[in-house]
Amino acid sequence: MSAENSSIHEHANRGWIVTFAGLGINLALGVLYTWSMFKGAIEKDFGWPKADLNGPYSLCCLVFAFAMIVAGRCQDKIGPRATASLGGVFVAAGMILISTTTSYAVWMVGFGLLVGLGLGFGYSSATPPALKWFPPSKTGLIAGLVVAGFGLAPVYLAPTSEYLLGHYGVLRSMMIFGVAFLVIVVGLAQLLMNPPQGYVAAGSVPGAKPAAAGSSPAEAVRTPQFWILWLIYLIGAGAGLMVISSISGMAKKSMGGQAFVAVAVMAVGNAGGRVLAGVLSDKIGRRWTLMLVLVLQAVLMFAAIPVTGSKDTGALLIVLVAALIGANYGANLSLFPSFAKDLWGLKSFGMNYGFLFTAWGVGGYMLSQLQQKLTAASGGSFTSSFQTAGGLLLLGAALTLLIKPRPVAH
């Protein structure tokens, strides 16, 4: 093997190591999904008012989304290894802090602020270094693989949380999670690295720009493309987050103790949707893939109305709808970082995607609040929530026609 071929092979291996280290970090950061598993025990043991139960979780989502901007800048300036390590430390500090008390205020600081910051720092530094090792023709695949970890997390977190809760209670379980995530995230962070200066991935088109090229955040946010994508992201992610919790609640009514199966299958769908949408977008383009995802999700929202409205709905149908909604929601999380790389390059990718990712936080917060109000106003029915989500998703699909994509280089 020639020295040149040996170097290409070594770079390819390094790229896959970075990719799977990022996936592993996101698997750990899926601790966000433990909230629904612990909420019942918190209500029972801590005595918090029902209206306050989602407070730390809602704050965590908002902090996570906006921390992506600061964390993205850190990732761009000091590198992914240090940024992801900081994320692990923040998450661990937050989990360990809340393991010492039942105080609502301390949980808002520990889970809402510190864990939210940790998620932002860890998540923002997992995808950029992986993308830099591969040619544009693999952008969707690599982005999908890295972020699949976050979606897949409930598959192991659901049974793990159930076991820990049954044996150790809420507070000690949080301590165990905190220590475990410190070791896992900081450990895997050491495997993250950017390619050398001037590196151009094997398989790139002749004359391709080095991985360090691209637009600054100031340039990116001044483009109409950014704000069109931001609004579509708000709709696509927000609509998914708006109903995922409803599907879980419905599964419990119909499936009883087997409801965790629906949660796990939805998680597999969520992770699978991220990879499949990424691969499909490499083949047919980001815009057409995004339009397809939004239209399918709208159809699922309208189809979910009779599914949730009937008491005789079979478990298999519930699981199927949950998996498909999870897959379409998950697709957003690989398509939008791919759009960010295509349109604005990798020079300031962390911060550019950080600004774009605020749409996820705003959409999740606004539309989940709207869903609660609509459900309460209709006596517990989810019909108006599904109708609203379906209408918004069709609007998002129409907005994709305004995106002017750059051709994906092969």
Q: Which residue has the tokens 């390059």?
A: 345
Asked whether residue 39 falls in the same domain as residue 163, the answer is yes
Asked whether residue 219 falls in the same domain as residue 184, the answer is no
Q: Which residue has the tokens 């291996």?
A: 13
Asked whether residue 382 falls in the same domain as residue 248, the answer is yes
Asked whether residue 173 falls in the same domain as residue 261, the answer is no
- In terms of residue numbers, what domain contains 247? 212-404
Round to whole Å and give the CA distance between 234 and 360. 5
Phi, psi of 361 (to 5 degrees): -65, -45
Round to whole Å and give the CA distance between 114 and 175. 14
Sign of CA dihedral 331, 332, 338, 339: positive
CATH classification of the domain holding 32: 1.20.1250.20
Asked whether residue 115 falls in the same domain as residue 143, the answer is yes
Whether residue 295 lies inside any domain: the answer is yes
Asked whether residue 101 falls in the same domain as residue 240, the answer is no
Whether residue 203 lies inside any domain: the answer is no
Q: Last residue of some domain: 167, 195, 223?
A: 195
Whether residue 25 lies inside any domain: the answer is yes
Whether residue 138 lies inside any domain: the answer is yes
Determine contact, residues 88/184, Cβ cutoff 8 Å: yes
Whether residue 364 lies inside any domain: the answer is yes
Whether residue 396 lies inside any domain: the answer is yes
**pLDDT tens, the chain, 410 aa long:** 454 455 555 666 889 999 999 999 999 998 887 777 777 788 888 888 877 777 888 889 889 999 999 998 898 889 999 999 999 999 999 999 999 999 999 999 999 999 999 999 999 999 999 999 998 889 999 999 999 998 898 888 878 888 898 899 999 999 999 999 999 999 999 999 999 888 877 766 655 556 556 788 899 999 999 999 999 999 999 888 877 666 655 666 666 666 667 777 888 898 999 999 999 999 999 999 999 999 999 999 998 888 766 666 677 787 788 789 889 999 999 999 999 999 999 888 889 999 999 999 888 888 877 887 887 788 877 788 889 999 999 999 999 999 986 544 43
Asked whether residue 257 falls in the same domain as residue 127, the answer is no
Count of structural domains within the chain: 2
Whether residue 31 lies inside any domain: the answer is yes
Asked whether residue 191 falls in the same domain as residue 227, the answer is no
